[in-house]
Amino acid sequence: MKYSIKQLSIFIENKKGELTQVTEILSKNKISIKAINLVDGSDFGILRVLVDDSESTKRILDDNGFSLTISEVFAVLIDDHIGSFNEVLSILSQNDINIEYTYTINTTNKGAFIFKVSKDDFSKATKLLSKSKVKLLENI
């Protein structure tokens, strides 16, 4: 699907060394982390990553005993002005598209918002944003 970026959600225990274990495995296997977001709970966390090779990463982490899923997200280029995030949210909200979660990343000289919406709304959301002259990224 156009503008689809594969995101891995890795379930990790909320204990010392668990995050390092994941990053060491990725590093040893020459996997480049493009974006990372960790949400914690009392006993576990969800580590969301964008990497250069999601299928290989999933296989490697599966082989190392981690539970994970792959989902589709999209990235919107950030304009450096007050309200740029609100402009994107407004387009989605006015068209009845729910945002499941969002986070930001920075590239060499630009930033981007990462959005997760339902599978049913994915195509609708990216088409609406594209029509509204919002710059969508095809990769990170």
User: CATH code at 26?
Assistant: 3.30.2130.10
Domain identity same for 44 and 57: yes
**Domain that includes residue 84, residue range:** 75-137
Domain identity same for 21 and 64: yes
Q: Which of 72, 95, 125 lies at the terminal end of a domain, its last residue?
A: 72
* Chain segment 55-83, per-residue pLDDT in tens: 999 999 999 999 999 999 999 998 778 99
> Above pLDDT 90, what percent of the chain?
80
Decide if 14 contacts 43 (C-beta within 8 A): yes
Average pLDDT for the chain: 93
Domain identity same for 79 and 62: no
User: 81 by DSSP, 3-state: which?
Assistant: coil
Domain identity same for 108 and 55: no
Domain identity same for 87 and 130: yes
Read off the amino acid at residue 84. Answer: S
Tell me: pLDDT of 134 over 70.
yes
Burial of 73 (0-12, 13-18, 19+ CB in 10 A): buried
